[in-house]
């Protein structure tokens, strides 16, 4: 389930950031460079919040 996969949340975070760009990438290489740039700029707080939310997510899945 995506709720239990933090990397999916980070992927969506990067996707949102890429969507904020003024112009689309000119090719696959530029896209990859932008993805790498956004990956490196992910605030540590975003990762911490994902980690801290895992017990709640696991509990919700168990209850479902």
Contact 51, 5 (CB under 8 A): no
What is the pLDDT confidence band of residue 3, given thresholds at 50, 70 and 90?
Answer: confident
User: Residue 26 pLDDT > 70, yes or no?
Assistant: yes
Residues 6+ apart with CB under 8 A from 22: none
Q: What is the mean pLDDT of residues 46-60?
A: 92
Domain ranges in the chain are 2-63
Whole-structure pTM over 0.75, yes or no?
yes
């Amino acid at each position: 389930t995506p709720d239990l996969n933090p990397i999916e949340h980070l992927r969506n975070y990067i996707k949102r950031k890429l969507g904020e760009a003024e112009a689309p990438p000119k090719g696959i290489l530029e896209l990859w460079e932008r993805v790498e740039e956004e990956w490196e700029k992910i605030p540590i707080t975003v990762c911490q919040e994902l980690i801290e939310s895992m017990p709640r997510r696991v509990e919700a899945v168990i209850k479902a």
